[in-house]
Chains A and B, each alone.
Chain A
Amino acid sequence: MMLTDLSLAGALRGLERREFSSRELTQAHLEAIEQLNPRLNAFITVTGEQALEAAEAADRTRAGGEAAALTGAPLGIKDLFCTEGVRTTAASRILQNFVPPYESTVTAQLKRDGAVVLGKTNLDEFAMGSSNMNSAYGPVENPWQRRGEVARRVPGGAAGGPPAAVAARLPRGATGTDTGGSIRQPASFCGIVGIKPTYGRCSRWGVVAFASSLDQAGPLARTVEDCAILLGSMAGFDPKDSTSVDRPVPDYRAACGCSVKGLRIGVPVEYRSPGMSAEIEALWRQGVDWLREAGCEIVDVSLPHTKYGLATYYIVAPAECSSNLARYDGVRFGERVEGETLDALYERSRAAGFGPEVRRRILIGTYVLSSGYYDAFYLRAQKVRSLILRDFSEAFQRVDALLTPTAPSAAFAQGEKMDDPVTMYLNDIFTVPASMAGIPGLSVPGGLDEAGLPLGLQLLGRPFDEESLFALGSVLEKAAGFTHLPAVRAGAAS
């Protein structure tokens, strides 16, 4: 077994028992990145030197008999989290030279707990997309391939870098952010685990903003337990984020082994979309059986406004995006293109700095907020969001969690679904409603489709009940026994 094969929990155990040092572990990961990143493009920036320094510091800490939750564990950080003194691009040209003078709260907490940062991972520009084809630093390749095919597939999005890297075993785990499904959908496409916690659970301070009422940080890793360990460090109250919620962080790792006997699991009838593939429907049914066998009670529930989730999202998210991205003006930070007037400077800097999908969303957002259209689009969407939230609140009076597929398909090929933006948007159909309601969602690999690509199951829970999701996710993980490996990974013959 190679060092890169270990789970996060396994690596932490090995470090504790002095079976290997953090320096050896970090070195193994850096070598894997050097070997595979030219192909996968999962990292935008690799911080090898700093990683080795941090690893040596972690080894000294352990030698001194002290260790925190993550001491010496090498991680990848989505390049949307500001890291002090390390370039943070949001995968945009406009931030290609941006070096934050401060550290995001989430990454500061991971470092506080001893994590070693290997580098900054790739994503769709400003986390907008479902394929990671929209990065100014090039697309990310999914390490999984269809059996007998060489066509490169997308890792999902908006953050394709973290899951692709984790699946290929480049880092031990990674941070992501989820606005409409950007942790869960790529986790499903790459055969790993990812959780979007409740809105307010992790601080948004220092995370480059896309849609502030939806953005939420969360971990991606190879096992449910690994995600629990990471969330334990990432979560917590932060006075610097006005939407951060002040409540204790439970022991998520302990929740992974808890019994799920007697929990009531809702199966939302509206998620059975007419076009759903037989394989995904079969996996969903299998997931229901696994939970029933573990002692859960299965209940049909209705979330009647599900079908309006995506359209609501594509009003609310662009509206907030157009407002948030107004800060890129070519004056205070970011790239500038000179102009004779201040307006010309703004227009040229923003035209040159933003890619096509970001420009589309800024324009849509500006339109739905503009005088004469605000009521018909934005205000109406805010009301429908209210109805979507009510659907979930009513369902959670009857059940403890919901089970659905994570995505309507397995990973598609690079270049597919690129002709029409709406076709791409449909990928988030099962993940967006939970984002609109701010509730937690966990994606766990359930199996492979007939071509050998991973498919995920999604668990949704009550606000701040991540513990039930970890307990239920562990049951699904154990039952699925998902030990399949992607074609491209550290240590595999290439």
Chain B
Amino acid sequence: MSLEPATVRRIAKLARLGIDDAEIAQLQVELGGILGWIEQLSELDVEGVEPISGVGQAALRMRADVVTDGATREAVLSNAPDRAGPFFSVPKVVE
């Protein structure tokens, strides 16, 4: 199984992952190989089986809706690759 180049480009776009045109051919083969292999699950009958997203026994715990921390602006911004005062900076997004 080999993926179409357009499919590789589409999922890379969805994942916001830049890929060079030169990488496409190899990714077609690698991703196609993995997907072809995991497709073996289609031979199983899963009619009526309840899907699970994890193994937690019950519903996730909820905490009280109260403020638990705050006033940590410098800590939050301490790893920002680029900041402008108390803000994260990004390229202009609105014309």
Q: Is the CB of A348 within 8 A of B18?
A: yes
Given contacts A363-B15, A385-B52, 16 further A-B contacts (CB under 8 A): A212-B54, A213-B55, A308-B44, A311-B37, A332-B79, A333-B79, A333-B81, A335-B81, A336-B82, A362-B17, A366-B11, A367-B7, A370-B11, A377-B38, A389-B55, A422-B34
Q: Which residues of chain B come closer than 8 Å to A387, judged between CB atoms?
A: 44, 46, 49
Q: Which residues of chain A come closer than 8 Å to B6, judged between CB atoms?
A: none
Q: Which residues of chain A come closer than 8 Å to B90, judged between CB atoms?
A: 331, 342, 345
Q: Which of A98, A102, A311, A360 contacts B40 (CB 8 A)?
A: A311
Q: Which residues of chain A come closer than 8 Å to B37, judged between CB atoms?
A: 311, 314, 422
Task: Give B23 Cβ to nearest chain A Cβ, in Å.
Answer: 9
What total of chain A residues lie within 8 Å of the partner, measured CB to CB?
A: 69
B66 within 8 A of A: no
Given the interface pairs A98-B79, A102-B75, A243-B60, the reply to whether A384 lies near B34 with Cβ below 8 Å is no
Q: Which residues of chain B come closer than 8 Å to A370, judged between CB atoms?
A: 11, 14
Q: Which residues of chain B come closer than 8 Å to A421, judged between CB atoms?
A: 30, 33-34
Given the interface pairs A99-B78, A363-B11, the reply to whether A200 lies near B56 with Cβ below 8 Å is yes
B82 to A, closest residue via Cβ: A336
Task: Give A67 Cβ to nearest chain B Cβ, in Å.
Answer: 32
Residue numbers of B with Cβ under 8 A of A are 7-8, 11-12, 14-19, 27, 30-31, 33-35, 37-38, 40-42, 44, 46, 49-56, 60-61, 63, 72, 75-76, 78-82, 88, 90-91, 93
Q: Which residues of chain B come closer than 8 Å to A422, judged between CB atoms?
A: 33-34, 37
A57 within 8 A of B: no
A493 within 8 A of B: no
Q: How far is the CA of A98 from the CA of B79 in the complex (A)?
A: 6
Given the interface pairs A213-B55, A243-B56, A354-B17, the reply to whether A360 lies near B34 with Cβ below 8 Å is yes
Q: Which residues of chain A come closer than 8 Å to B18, judged between CB atoms?
A: 344, 347-348, 350-351
Task: Give B57 Cβ to nearest chain A Cβ, in Å.
Answer: 8
Q: Is the CB of B49 within 8 A of A315?
A: no
Q: Is the CB of B38 within 8 A of A351?
A: no
Q: How far is the CA of A310 from the CA of B27 in the complex (A)?
A: 21
Q: How far is the CA of A242 from the CA of B54 in the complex (A)?
A: 12
Q: How far is the CA of A446 from the CA of B67 in the complex (A)?
A: 51
Q: Is the CB of B55 within 8 A of A437?
A: yes
Task: Give B1 Cβ to nearest chain A Cβ, in Å.
Answer: 12
6 sample A-B contacts, Cβ–Cβ < 8 Å, listed by A number? A101-B72, A101-B76, A199-B54, A350-B18, A376-B42, A422-B37
A383 within 8 A of B: yes
Q: Is the CB of B75 within 8 A of A382?
A: no
Task: Give B71 Cβ to nearest chain A Cβ, in Å.
Answer: 13
Q: How far is the CA of A364 from the CA of B8 in the complex (A)?
A: 10
A49 within 8 A of B: no
CB contact list, A408-422 vs B, under 8 A: 420-422
CB contact list, A336-350 vs B, under 8 A: 336, 338-348, 350
Q: Is the CB of B49 within 8 A of A383?
A: yes
Residue among B8, B30, B54 with most chain A CB within 10 A: B54
A261 within 8 A of B: no
A176 within 8 A of B: no
B27 to A, closest residue via Cβ: A363
Q: Which residues of chain A come closer than 8 Å to B33, judged between CB atoms?
A: 420-422
A330 within 8 A of B: yes
Task: Give A339 Cβ to nearest chain B Cβ, in Å.
Answer: 7
Task: Give B64 Cβ to nearest chain A Cβ, in Å.
Answer: 10
B58 to A, closest residue via Cβ: A245
A359 within 8 A of B: yes
Q: Is the CB of B78 within 8 A of A101?
A: yes
What are the 8 closest A-B residue pairs judged by CB atoms, nearest first?
A: A438-B55, A382-B51, A347-B18, A351-B18, A333-B79, A336-B81, A213-B54, A101-B75
Q: Is the CB of B41 within 8 A of A308?
A: yes
Q: Is the CB of A367 within 8 A of B17?
A: no
Task: Give A326 Cβ to nearest chain B Cβ, in Å.
Answer: 8
A13 within 8 A of B: no
Q: Is the CB of B35 within 8 A of A364?
A: yes
Q: Which residues of chain A come closer than 8 Å to B82, judged between CB atoms?
A: 336
Given the interface pairs A343-B16, A366-B11, the reply to whether A312 lies near B53 with Cβ below 8 Å is no
Given the interface pairs A363-B15, A384-B44, A420-B33, the reply to whether A334 lies near B52 with Cβ below 8 Å is no
Task: Give B68 Cβ to nearest chain A Cβ, in Å.
Answer: 9
A239 within 8 A of B: yes
Given the interface pairs A348-B18, A359-B17, the reply to whether A386 lies near B51 with Cβ below 8 Å is yes
Q: Which of B12, B34, B55, B75 contacts A199 (CB 8 A)?
A: B55
A46 within 8 A of B: no
